[in-house]
Amino acid sequence: MLLFLAVLLIAGCVNLPWGAPKDELEMVPQAANALLIFRPSLTLNDSDFASLYNSSEQMSFEITRIEATTGINPAKIDRMVLFFNFDSFTQESETYGGFVASGVIEKENILEKMKLNNVITELKYGSSTVYEITSKEIPENKTYLSFLSGSMLVGGSRKAVEDSIDLSNGKGVSVKSRKNLMKAYDELGKDSVFLFLMESTPQMRKEINETQQQLFSIKSLSKMQAVGFSVEKKGKAVDLKLLTLADDAASAADISDLFNSSVSLGKTLSGEGSAAREVLSKIRVRANGNGVSVLLSSDMDELGRLNDELSASPE
């Protein structure tokens, strides 16, 4: 009895590895080098974001369509991570990738909705069930789903789903082992409403180095190890952050110069008194060690004016 009580006390003071719940990134395989992370329930239940969605008929239609065809209610998904193996800027299709969603996952409802337009086949992967979803209209289109727990779902290519299942069972290596990607993730803020993270590949670097631009060269970006972009919202205030990790401090300085030149060019091309010029004037670029950060602090009203300006039809 005393030993049992001692174990309970220890468990209350430390996070035991077998008791700690795994987060979404721990379900993303190391093979992925590009991530899109967003928080649907937060944005869809935020009045400012909701007004933007409602102003777009296409966006409103897509949100409704998702629930109608998949059984997943975006407003009840706390966090979603889309992951891909992205090797080249000319890459046209993804053979490895998928998503991890956490929140209210209604398994039976999801499978029932999926049956409307698809054929569902149950497959076994170890002790787990993988659902093969085959489109009735285009049989060659297949995707795969697995319910990792009562509140977590993984979907995508078969290999990606199987790798994620392995991670849930304590096997394999997750994307958290990618140091550059995780450094960007930590610095940008994991609680942001939107995050994009990408680790560059040798092929990407080669393509950037060979790119020819008329106005200025972007070759300095070929020294980029990883890049991240985030959107953080507090009240009406919005922070947009871009972080680039370069090979070294000299490369970071070159990238910083490129970003500053791009901002200056954008201001020159923007009309006097335009929302675009006002927003560009607030951008701050800073190099620190091998990192380059770009920060824009704005608010929803200003970004709304910019959106209206950019979406307005030219006269």
> What integer pLDDT is reported at residue 14 of this predicted model?
38
Q: For 272-306, how does the pLDDT look when each residue is reduced to its tens digit (9 = 90+)? A: 888 899 999 999 999 999 999 999 999 888 888 88
How many Å apart are CA 153 and CA 141, to the nearest integer?
20
Q: What residues contact 107, with CB distance under 8 A and at least 6 apart?
A: 147, 150
| Calpha distance 61→81 (Å, rounded) | 22
The number of beta carbons lying within 10 Å of the beta carbon of residue 264 is 11
pLDDT at 4 over 50: no
pLDDT tens, residue by residue, 237-278: 899 999 999 999 999 999 999 999 999 988 888 888 888 999
Of the two residues 9 and 23, the one the predictor is more confident about is 23
How would residue 9 be classed by pLDDT, with cut points 50, 70 and 90?
A: very low
Rounded to an integer, what distance in angstroms lies between the CA atom of residue 267 and that of residue 274? 10
Mean pLDDT of the chain: 86
Distance CA 220, CA 231 (A): 25
- pLDDT for 64: 78
Residue boundaries of the structural domains of the chain: 22-177, 179-315
> In whole angstroms, what separates CA 32 from the centre of its chain?
12
Backbone torsions φ then ψ of 22, nearest 5 degrees: -90, 145
**Residue 16: per-residue pLDDT:** 37
Of 214, 208, 210, residue with least CA distance to 255: 208
Q: Which of 176, 135, 27, 33 is nearest to 94 (CA)?
A: 33
- 11-25, 64-78, 154-168, 205-219: range with highest mean pLDDT: 154-168
How far apart CA 296 and CA 238 sit, in angstroms, is: 8
Which residue type does 239 have? D
190-219 average pLDDT score: 86
State both tokens at 278. Answer: 């006002």
pLDDT the model gives residue 82: 94
User: What is the pLDDT at residue 248?
Assistant: 96
**pLDDT surpassing 90 at residue 19:** no
Alpha-helical regions (H) of 71-211: 107-114, 158-168, 179-188, 202-210
β-bridge pairing 237-246 and 291-299: antiparallel
Confidence of residue 307 (pLDDT cuts 50, 70, 90): confident
